Amino acid sequence: MTTRPLRRYTYCADGPQIYRESFAIVRAETDLSGIPADAEHVAVRMVHTCGQPDLTADLRIHPDFVRAGRAALLAGAPIFVDSTMVAAGITRRRLPAANEVICHLNDLRVPELAAAWGTTRSAAAVSLWGDRLDGAMVAVGNAPTALFHLLEQISEGGPRPAGIVGVPVGFVGSAESKQALIEHDAGIPYVAVTGRRGGAALAAAVINALAGRPE
């Protein structure tokens, strides 16, 4: 049996209390006035994940995103992600229909496709999503090239997902890819964070918020 070390610091160690207080602080410190009413819990979950209440100033949530996303998950739609980090962050027990979480980044076909097309592995992997993308949910948290590639496929008549979480992080192409999502004329509901901020944890947080109860 392991021995608990001497407690040298004053801190809350009650899990449920930490949970309650954390979300109370988020709601007290976050301006949710520009967020669709049914998406407030999505914004709250994202702020809780990154620890930055000012995130909502850059957060863009399509007014139909929550409705479309929840309907897709309840119908058993798969969730396509651009990285194993996003996949790992999705809490499977929250998913309402044991929804499949799919990442093709490590598929053996990806390196050859990426080399042939002169693009990244993340972008090439998107092409392997195939027809199952129709009506599915998408969560892009790492690679701007994956989001660009997805939008290009849709623009050429490719399968249309039910909703897109587009929050890739970075200094090259990140802001531009998210702006392209916001301005895309396909009418697909989305969540985006303008600028350079984003990441796998934020992408997973959106899916978890859709699947779980409001905080």
CATH code (residue 192): 3.40.50.10230
- What's the number of domains the chain is made of? 1
**107 inside domain:** yes
pLDDT, tens digit only, all 215 positions of the chain: 689 899 999 999 999 999 999 999 999 999 999 999 999 999 999 999 999 999 999 999 999 999 999 999 999 999 999 999 999 999 999 999 999 999 999 999 999 999 999 999 999 999 999 999 999 999 999 999 999 999 999 999 999 999 999 999 999 999 999 999 999 988 999 999 999 999 999 999 999 999 986 66
**61 inside domain:** yes
**108 inside domain:** yes
Neighbours of 74 (CB within 10 A): 14
**199 inside domain:** yes
- Domain containing 71 equals 15-211
Pick the closest to residue 66 from 174, 210, 182, 172 (CA basis): 210
Residues annotated as catalytic are: 48
Separation between Cα atoms, residue 13 and residue 173, nearest integer Å: 41
Q: Can you point out the beta strands (E) in the chain?
A: 59-61, 79-81, 101-102, 137-140, 163-166, 190-193
**21 inside domain:** yes
**Single-letter amino acid, residue 46:** M
Strand partners, 59: 193
